[in-house]
Structures are given as C-alpha cells and as structure tokens.
C-alpha cells in the first residue's frame, strides 16, 4: 500500500501543531504496515462514503479512503471529546 493526500489534507496538516505532524508521520507508518494496529484504532467512519477514521493521538484523527493499493488521506483534524 501507498499513501496519497488530498489538497485539503495537506493544507490542514501544515496548519496542525508540529507534535501532531510528527505523530501523524508515526501513525501513517503503522497504517502502511497494518490497518488493524491497536494504536490506530482504525474503524469505518462513514459506510456510505467508504471513509475510515484512525487516531493520530488522543485528540486528533485522520480520515482516509482505501482506493486500490493506496490509502487516500482526506482529512486531519482535532477530535472534540
């Protein structure tokens, strides 16, 4: 699998705190190795849009689609609790 990024994702990622950017780098490598890694807590977020959600850290999430052999990153944002 490979990672691909939407323009929207890249814009939000660049605005995120540096710690979040670094955590995403770590989590994205885990995603490439194993979609079901416990640290990711990956789950289907929106069945109709085939959108998945995974954890960056306790308060940030990223959203992606699985398209062929790629994880297409759609969004990264703060997750309100």
pTM of the predicted protein model: 0.93
CB 26 within 8 A of CB 33: no
pLDDT tens profile 7-52: 999 999 999 999 999 999 999 999 999 999 999 999 999 999 999 9
45 backbone dihedrals φ, ψ, rounded to 5°: -95, -45
Residue-range domains of the chain with CATH: 2-73 (3.30.2310.20)
Q: How far apart are CA 46 and CA 52, in angstroms?
A: 7
């Amino acid at each position: 699998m490979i990672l691909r990024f939407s323009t929207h994702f890249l814009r939000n990622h660049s605005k995120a705190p540096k710690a979040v950017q670094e955590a995403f780098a770590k989590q994205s490598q885990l995603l490439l190795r194993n979609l079901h890694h416990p640290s990711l807590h990956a789950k289907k977020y929106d069945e109709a849009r085939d959108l998945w959600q995974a954890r960056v850290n306790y308060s940030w999430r990223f959203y992606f689609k699985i398209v062929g052999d790629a994880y297409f990153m759609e969004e990264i944002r703060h997750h309100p609790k």
